[in-house]
Amino acid sequence: MTRAGGEGVASGKVILLGEHSVVYGHPAIAAGLPRGASARAVPSADRTVLAVEPWGVEVSPDPAADKSLTRALAAMVEAAGWKDTVRVDARVDLPGGSGLGSSAALGVAVMRAVDDLLGIQRSDAEALEVSLAWERVFHGNPSGVDNAMAIAGGLAWYVRGQPIERIRGRAPLTLVIGDSGEPCSTMITVGDVARQHAADPERMGKQFEAIASIVRNGRLAIERGDLVSLGQLFDMNHALLAGMLISTGTLEEMIAAARNAGALGAKLTGGGGGGCMIALTDGGESAARVKGAIEALGKRAFVATIGSIDSESGDLA
């Protein structure tokens, strides 16, 4: 049954621990952000159109187009099995190419709006499959963590191909998220790591194992409310990611500034090669100090307590 209009929203995310190794079947811990993307769909007489703000773009599905968004929409229409033509007006409230899952959030919001319009209900597993068809266009070989978090939000344990598991933390996690302002391409860094893995599978396998052990310990630390250990695990995870050459000079500077300002630990988050870093703090004044230290480098930062953004500087999108 087609309604007059359909609505969809989806979360952005931060990966706390386990990016990249999650592509190879190891666990990751991620948290949904309270902002992400939203979309509204209405029937369209002749062709399907997707308009995205603030990007100022409008596309119609075409699997052979140059523009990724055009191909992603075509892949989603195909995977979703939508027969009707629709117009979707979407908004992304996250910076693109920053490692905060903007493409997955946009895809899930679009899917939800059109499904809502057309009266289609899907299980989370089906929704993940449809939104992954979209995400593959942007990221080549996504683990699915961004999409699973866009669908579910909250704080979760994710293993590729498995449903997410909710994690219940003992203490709130107050993170400072700093945006390097350097655009990152997850497709490129995932490709870089894949080349290192192909060249030396044994060495990279050991690195991934080490990260997996950090992630398992991270879960225990979150469940015990042991923020000091969790911060140390952030630092260890970052060292292994930097060893894969996916950090940047700017991210290193921001991470060092956060640690010097009293962060319990800090690391890059998401694909790396630019994008965002996260720092774990004790909350309150300590978060404000770390945020100030990142801003003193001329970078935007905001404080997120798992599940809700407390304060922010400037417009994140």
The Cα 257–Cα 249 span in angstroms is: 12
- What character string, x for contact with ligand MEV (CB under 6 A) and - otherwise, covers 169-198? -----------------x---x--------
95 binds ligand MEV (CB under 6 A): no
Q: How many residues form the binding site for ligand MEV (CB under 6 A)?
A: 16
Q: How far is the CB of 232 from ligand MEV (least distance, A)?
A: 21
Per the omega criterion (within 30 degrees of 0), is the bond before 183 cis?
Answer: no
Q: Which residue is nearest to ligand MEV (CB)?
A: 143
Q: Candidates 139, 238, 299, 300: give the one binding ligand MEV (CB under 6 A).
A: 139
Choice from 8, 271, 273, 274 touching ligand MEV (CB under 6 A): 271
Q: How many residues does the chain have?
A: 317
Closest by alpha carbon to 145, among 124, 161, 133?
161
At residue 136, φ and ψ (nearest 5 deg) are -60, -30
Considering the complex, state which of residue 95 and residue 99 has its C-beta at the smaller distance from ligand MEV. 99
Q: Which residues pair with 303 in a beta bridge?
A: 176, 311
Nearer to ligand MEV, 89 or 129 (CB): 129
Q: Is 272 left (phi over 0), alpha (psi -120 to 50) or beta?
A: left
Active site residues: 146
Contacts of 60 (CB under 8 A, 6+ apart): 47, 48, 49, 50, 70, 73
- Residue number, 227 or 268, with CB nearest to ligand MEV: 268
Residue 109 binds to ligand MEV (criterion: CB under 6 A): no
Tokens of 138: 């942007």
Residues that bind ligand MEV (CB under 6 A): 15, 19-20, 22-23, 99, 101, 139, 142-143, 145-146, 186, 190, 270-271
